[in-house]
Amino acid sequence: MTSLSDLPLRANLVGKEPYGAPQDPVPVSLNVNENTHPLPEDVIEDIIASLGDAVRGVNRYPDREFMGLREDLARYLGHGLTAEQLWAANGSNEVLQQVLQAFGGPGRSLLSFTPTYSMYPLLAGGTDTEWIPVARPNDYALTAELVVEALEEHKPSIAILCGPNNPTGTSLDLDVVKAAYDAFDGILVVDEAYHEFDSSHESALSLLPGRPRLLVSRTMSKAFAFAGVRLGYLAADAAVVDALRLVRLPYHLSALTQAAASAALRHSAEMLRAVDDIRLQRDRLAAELEGMGYLVHPSGANFILVGGFASPEATFEALRAEGILIRNLSIDGHLRLTAGTADETTQLIEAIRALGPGGAKA
C-alpha cells in the first residue's frame, strides 16, 4: 500500500501529520472548546426556514461576494464597520489561510507567541511560509516590550496575536496590539476567536481606523455555538479584503452557509445568551480545581489551562475511560478543560476529584 513517504511531497511537508483532535463519541466532549449549549428552538426554526429558501435556488451558484452576509456581520460587530471591510470563509482557519496566501509564501514569514493555536504553524507550512515561534513568559501574558523586541528582531511578514490565547486562555491588552502594529511594517492579525467570552478586555476592532495593516479575525464556532456550520470572518481595511478576494476559490461560501449564518446573526442576542452561563461554569470549574490544589491560569475564553497534574497522559486516559474527553496538548503538567453545561462541568469536577491529588499517576 502506498504511504505518504512514497509520494513526491513538498520538502516542508515531509514528516508532518494532519491537524486533528480526538472525536470519540463520549457522553461529555470537552476537548475542542465547542459551545456545548444547544441552540434555542426558535432560532433553529428560523435557520431551517432560511435554509429551505436557499435550497430552492441551489441550482445556481451562490452570491460570490456574499454582500448580504457581510452587511450582517458589519452590523453585528459595530465600530462603524461597513460590508466592504468584512470578509468570511469556511471557518477562521480558512480566513487565516487566505491571509497567508495573500501576504505570506516563499521568502516570507509568520511569527506568533507560543504556546498558541496549533494551526498557525500548519497554515504556514501549507503556504510555504516560514514559521517563527517566540516563547511566551511563564505566566503566558504578552507585554508590549516582549512583542516589540520579537518583531524588531525577526521582522516577520505576518504576526498573529491570539487573544484570548488558545490554549492558555490569556487575554490580550490593546496597548500590546498598538505597540506591535507600530513595531514592524508587516500584516498584524489579532485572532479574537474567543473574544465574546472575555468580559474585561476591549476588542481590537476599536483600533482598525488608521491602521490598514491590522486585521481582526473572529468565528461563529464558539460563542455562537455554530462550529458545525463553519463560518469564520475578518474585519480589516477594504484593501485587505480585496487582497483576500485575489486568493479565495470561486463561490467558496455556499448558499446554505450564507443563509444559516445570516439567520443566526438576526438572533445574535439570543444566540449569545449562553455566554454568561459558560463564563459562570468556567469560573466554577477554576475555583473547584484551585481548591483541589491545581494551578489554574487566568482565562478570558470558554476553557481553562490547568497545571499540577502528575501525569497529564494518565489523567487524560482516566477521564476518557469515564466518558469525559478533554485535551492533552503536551504542555508539561498541564491539561486544557473546556467549560460545558452545568451538568457536564459537575461531572468533570467530580471525576477529577475522584482521581485524588495530582490526578491519575502514570
pLDDT at residue 256 tops 80: yes
| Structural domain boundaries, residue 351 | 22-39+273-355
Q: Are residues 324 and 263 in the same domain?
A: no
Give the pLDDT of residue 250.
95
Separation in Å, CA 103 to CA 133, 147, 155: 18, 20, 14
CB 172 within 8 A of CB 142: yes
Residue 333, domain CATH: 3.90.1150.10
CB 178 within 8 A of CB 131: no
Give the pLDDT of residue 362.
84
Query: Measured between alpha carbons, how far is 42 from 192 in angstroms, rounded to an integer?
Result: 28
Res. 353 pLDDT band, cuts 50 70 90: very high
Domain boundary among 268, 287, 322: 268
Q: Per residue in 50-96, pLDDT tens?
A: 999 999 999 999 999 999 999 999 999 999 999 999 999 999 999 99
Res. 6 pLDDT band, cuts 50 70 90: confident
CB 132 within 8 A of CB 158: no
Give the pLDDT of residue 72.
98
Burial annotation 220-258 (CB, 10 A radius, 16+ → b, else e): bbbbbbbbebbbbbbbbbeebbebbeeebeeeebbbebb
Q: Are residues 253 and 282 in the same domain?
A: no
List the grid coordinates of 13: 511537508
Query: Measured between alpha carbons, how far is 69 from 77 in angstroms, rounded to an integer?
Result: 12
Query: Measured between alpha carbons, how far is 331 from 277 in angstroms, rounded to an integer?
Result: 28
Give the pLDDT of residue 289.
98
Res. 145 pLDDT band, cuts 50 70 90: very high
Structural domains in the chain (count): 2
The label of the residue with cell 520579537 reads 150
Paired residues of 130 in beta bridges = 109
pLDDT at residue 1 tops 90: no
Q: Are residues 257 and 280 in the same domain?
A: no
Res. 305 pLDDT band, cuts 50 70 90: very high
Sign of torsion over alpha carbons 86, 89, 92, 97: negative
Q: Are residues 214 and 299 in the same domain?
A: no
Rg over alpha carbons for the chain, rounded to the nearest Å, is 21
pLDDT at residue 22 tops 80: no
SS (H, E, C) the chain: CCCHHHCCCCHHHCCCCCCCCCCCCCCEECCCCCCCCCCCHHHHHHHHHHHHHHHCCCCCCCCCCCHHHHHHHHHHHCCCCCHHHEEEECCHHHHHHHHHHHHCCCCCEEEEEECCCCHHHHHHHHCCCEEEEEECCCCCCCCHHHHHHHHHHHCCCEEEEECCCCCCCCCCCHHHHHHHHHHCCCEEEEECCCHHHCCCCCCHHHHCCCCCCEEEEEECCCCCCCCCCCCEEEECCHHHHHHHHCCCCCCCCCHHHHHHHHHHHHCHHHHCCHHHHHHHHHHHHHHHHHHCCCEECCCCCCEEEEECCCCHHHHHHHHHHCCEECECCCCCCEEEEECCCHHHHHHHHHHHHHHCCCCCCC
Mean pLDDT of the chain: 96
Q: Are residues 243 and 287 in the same domain?
A: no
Domain boundary among 235, 251, 268: 268
**Domain-embedded: residue 165:** yes
Q: Are residues 247 and 318 in the same domain?
A: no
**Domain-embedded: residue 360:** no
Q: Are residues 237 and 339 in the same domain?
A: no
Query: Measured between alpha carbons, how far is 84 from 278 in angstroms, rounded to an integer?
Result: 33
In degrees rounded to 5, what are phi and psi of residue 22?
Answer: -55, 140
Q: Are residues 199 and 325 in the same domain?
A: no
Give the pLDDT of residue 32.
94
**Domain-embedded: residue 264:** yes
Q: Are residues 143 and 286 in the same domain?
A: no
CA angle 347, 353, 355 (to 5 degrees): 105
Q: Are residues 138 and 257 in the same domain?
A: yes
Give the pLDDT of residue 5.
83
Give the pLDDT of residue 266.
97
Domain boundary among 268, 284, 303: 268
Res. 16 pLDDT band, cuts 50 70 90: confident
By C-alpha distance, which of 191, 166, 113 is closest to 300?
Answer: 166
Q: Are residues 174 and 284 in the same domain?
A: no
Q: Per residue in 199-216, pLDDT tens?
A: 999 999 999 999 999 999
**Domain-embedded: residue 259:** yes
Query: Measured between alpha carbons, how far is 141 from 136 in angstroms, rounded to an integer?
Result: 7
**Domain-embedded: residue 4:** no
**Domain-embedded: residue 10:** no
Q: Per residue in 156-181, pLDDT tens?
A: 999 999 999 999 999 999 999 999 99
**Domain-embedded: residue 333:** yes
Q: Per residue in 104-137, pLDDT tens?
A: 999 999 999 999 999 999 999 999 999 999 999 9
Q: Are residues 300 and 167 in the same domain?
A: no
